[in-house]
Amino acid sequence: MIEKSPNKIIAGVMTWGVWGKDFQVNDMAERIRTFHESGITDFDHADIYGGYTTEATFGAALRESGIDRSKIQLITKCGIQYVSEARPVKIKHYDYSFEHITASAEQSLANLKTDYLDVFLLHRPSPLLEPEEVAAAVTQLLEAGKIRSFGVSNFTNDQTALLLKYLPVQFNQIQFSATQHEAATSGALDFMLLHQIKPMAWNPLGSYFKTDSEIAKRLKPVVEELAQKYDVGTDTILLNWILKHPAQVAPVVGTTDVNRLKSQLKALTFSMSTIEWFEIYTAALGHKVP
Ligand SMILES: NC(=O)c1ccc[n+]([C@@H]2O[C@H](COP(=O)([O-])OP(=O)(O)OC[C@H]3O[C@@H](n4cnc5c(N)ncnc54)[C@H](OP(=O)(O)O)[C@@H]3O)[C@@H](O)[C@H]2O)c1
């Protein structure tokens, strides 16, 4: 058996603000407290969430929560220029210029009321990304202690390899779930294992609860049977499927409900068998593996 660091689950806050539940500072502080008491230490942000407003509400809420900053890991992302009241750009685009990366990190620090970001990610790859310019900005932020680690999100292997020529890339946050499982066979997760890049999975429940898609219909009997066997929720089984991968993918869960969160955290307490993993995978594919 190979010794590994423990798996983790990250709380994504994309829908905590005006893009979803519209929690005010008090509500958000209470949620940060209850999530933290339940075992969450990592919170996933992006500058754009809530049309560039959610980071600031969270920053005020974190302060109000009274939780020691050192007990919390703050992840945020930069680069998407999203047309909104706060950002009157002509068209949605990506900006990875030295100036934009630096200004975005400074803005996130101010919004989150902190003097360092634990993880700083480039949100989406841009065809115009200049790796040396990104490296110059990120290196300066690392050296100043303003960010403690760096990564990417939604980057392909080649796009990541290009950056790796110029600086360490420690994370790639990708879409990965039982219903969006390509990363398991495309080489994306193998590439991350090879280069010691930690994967995070956004939308880890995939389309299971959102749509009545054919894939969700095929998954339901298998996932429900396993939920009964392990005496957990179906969402917990979907997360356990992700956690079984050797690349130690950290699911970024989007629930805003603390009871659901507590049930999802049970995914860290057991490991489904290889046969069960393949039962889910086979149902997702709609046919046996070759
Ligand atoms: N890097 C990127 O490009 C990117 C893109 C998108 C998202 N993200 C990050 O990933 C995070 C999570 O994404 P996601 O929201 O798609 O995650 P998710 O955990 O797959 O889905 C969360 C949604 O599923 C619902 N849900 C959870 N458990 C359920 C259950 N047992 N039954 C029915 N519905 C259930 C939640 O509703 P309740 O709130 O009512 O529980 C919520 O609407 C975001 O917050 C963000 O931080 C990153």
DSSP letters for 125-170: --TT--HHHHHHHHHHHHHTTSBS-EEEES--HHHHHHHHTTS---
What atom of ligand 1 comes closest to residue 204's alpha carbon?
A: 20
pLDDT tens sequence for the chain (290 residues)? 667 788 999 999 999 999 999 999 999 999 999 999 999 999 999 999 999 999 999 999 999 999 999 999 999 999 999 998 888 899 999 999 999 999 999 999 999 999 999 999 999 999 999 999 999 999 999 999 999 999 999 999 999 999 999 999 999 999 999 999 999 999 999 999 999 999 999 999 999 998 789 999 999 999 999 999 999 999 999 999 999 999 999 999 999 999 999 999 999 999 999 999 999 999 999 999 99
Q: Look at residue 83 in the predicted model and tell me its pLDDT.
A: 92
Q: Is residue 43 part of a domain?
A: yes
Ligand 1 pocket, 180 CB below 6 A? Answer: no
Q: Give the chain's radius of gyration (CA, Å).
A: 19
In a domain, 228, yes or no: no
The neighbour count for residue 73, using CB atoms within 10 Å, is 18
Q: What is the CATH number of the domain that holds 42?
A: 3.20.20.100
For residue 87, the model assigns a pLDDT of 85
Q: How far is the CA of 9 from the centre of ligand 1 (A)?
A: 12
Q: Is the CB of 50 under 6 A from ligand 1?
A: no
Distance CA 73, CA 71 (A): 7
* Distance between Cα 99 and ligand 1 center (Å): 32
Q: Ligand 1 within 6 A of 233 CB?
A: yes
Kindly state whether residue 286 falls inside one of the protein's structural domains.
no
Boundaries of domain holding 172: 10-211+235-268
Q: One-letter amino acid identity for 289?
A: V
Quick check: CB of 14 below 6 Å from ligand 1?
Answer: yes
Residue 2 is predicted with a pLDDT of 63
In a domain, 35, yes or no: yes
CA–CA dist 125, 206 (Å, integer): 21
- Ligand 1: centre distance to CA 207 (Å): 10
Crossing angle between the packed helical segments 131-143 and 157-164, to the nearest 10 degrees: 60
Coil, strand or helix at 87: strand
Instruction: Indicate which residue's Cα is closest to atom 31 of ligand 1.
Output: 235
Q: 256 in ligand 1 pocket by Cβ < 6 Å?
A: yes
CB 282 within 8 A of CB 219: no
Q: Catalytic amino acids? A: 49
DSSP H or E stretch at residue 254: none
Task: Quote the number of domains for the chain.
Answer: 1
Distance 254 CA to ligand 1 centre (A): 3
User: How confident is the model at residue 4, as a pLDDT?
Assistant: 77
69 in any annotated domain: yes
Distances (CA, A) of 197 to 38, 131, 247, 250, 287: 27, 17, 9, 12, 31
7 CA to middle of ligand 1, Å?
A: 19
Amino acid occupying residue 47? D
d(CA 89, CA 264) in angstroms, rounded, equals: 39
225-237 CB burial, b ≥16 within 10 A, e <16: ebbeebebbbbbb
Among protein residues, the one with the nearest Cα to ligand 1's atom 33 is 209
| 58, 219, 260, 265, best to mutate for ligand 1 pocket (most atoms within 8 Å of CB) | 260
pLDDT at 167: 97
List the residue whose alpha carbon is closest to atom 35 of ligand 1.
Answer: 209
**Is residue 201 included in any domain, yes or no?**
yes
